[in-house]
Structure 1
Amino acid sequence: ESWRELNTMETQVSNGPSGTSLPNGPVISTNGAADDSKTNLIVNYLPQNMTQEEFKSLFGSIGEIESCKLVRDKITGQSLGYGFVNYVDPNDADKAINTLNGLKLQTKTIKVRFSSITRWGGIKQGPRQT
């Protein structure tokens, strides 16, 4: 009985082409030069007083950056202590993780890893788990 319920749910979940668009979101383009998941990093535990310029300069020293954003409070403008970096080359993203993850900046030890959030702010859909 539970198998039948599961099967029904699976059918409801996978209606439509899989992985082409997010609910209420943009269609994810698959014709980009590089796979975002291999170039897009999230950086946590940044010092509160770090500026966008310092952030860009630190990660730009590794390789060419397509975009980077230090996330700030919309009202106060205060850094929220994390940001995103999107490299042009996946090798540079790897290098940034190997070089900068665990780096001590002032009183903080930063954490650098691949981000599952696309530049549009939606969560990436990976292969469906069955």
Structure 2
Amino acid sequence: MVMIISTMEPQVSNGPTSNTSNGPSSNNRNCPSPMQTGAATDDSKTNLIVNYLPQNMTQEEFRSLFGSIGEIESCKLVRDKITGQSLGYGFVNYIDPKDAEKAINTLNGLRLQTKTIKATVYFCFSLL
């Protein structure tokens, strides 16, 4: 009689294990890759993630602030699905990569109420 004993290896995490209200890191696994969306390589330079937004900022204020830089394809202020309260981060997708760069240079570090916002290029990596 042969007995097989298996051991389970611990799972390794490549990121933080808890969620914070300051937003996700810039390597979210649930977003499509450029191959899936048909996007060109330069398109990744038009997508921004904006962290440390004031809790009481509205979608309209968010769009207005970043829309003042250039033409926006889309923007989304992320909110809690149950309470509707802002989670303090959002995404902006510009049409022109130069506008995205200008938004980072202009708005990154901007002080809004008690927060200093952080605007960076959003790189999306698919690990699967």
TM-score (norm 1): 0.67
Distance (whole Å) between structure 2 residues aligned to residue 86 and residue 114 of structure 1: 10
Distance (whole Å) between structure 2 residues aligned to residue 49 and residue 34 of structure 1: 35
Tell me the equivalent position of 2:123: 116
RMSD: 2.3
Tell me the equivalent position of 2:101: 94
Distance (whole Å) between structure 1 residues aligned to residue 40 and residue 97 of structure 2: 11
Contact 1:116-1:124 at 8 Å conserved across structures: no
Aligned residues: 97
Distance (whole Å) between structure 2 residues aligned to residue 79 and residue 104 of structure 1: 17
Distance 1:85 1:124, change over 3 A: farther
Tell me the equivalent position of 2:26: none
Structure scoring higher RCO (CA < 8 A, sep ≥ 6) equals: 2
Tell me the equivalent position of 1:29: 37
Contact 1:38-1:114 at 8 Å conserved across structures: yes
The secondary structure found in structure 2 opposite 1:38 is helix
Deviations 1:79-112 (A, max 9, x none): 0000000000000000000000000000100000
Distance (whole Å) between structure 2 residues aligned to residue 60 and residue 51 of structure 1: 14
Tell me the equivalent position of 2:91: 84
Tell me the equivalent position of 2:82: 75
Any stretches of 5+ residues in structure 2 without a counterpart?
1-28
Distance 1:124 1:39, change over 3 A: farther
Distance (whole Å) between structure 1 residues aligned to residue 64 and residue 118 of structure 2: 17
Letter matched to residue 81 of structure 1: G
The secondary structure found in structure 2 opposite 1:62 is coil
How far the C-alpha of 1:66 sits from its partner, in A, is 0.1
Letter matched to residue 92 of structure 1: D
Q: Which runs of 4+ in 1 moved over 2 A?
A: 32-36
The secondary structure found in structure 2 opposite 1:71 is strand
TM-score (norm 2): 0.68
Tell me the equivalent position of 2:10: none
How far the C-alpha of 1:29 sits from its partner, in A, is 3.3
How far the C-alpha of 1:28 sits from its partner, in A, is 1.4
The secondary structure found in structure 1 opposite 2:66 is helix
Letter matched to residue 28 of structure 1: Q
How far the C-alpha of 1:37 sits from its partner, in A, is 1.2
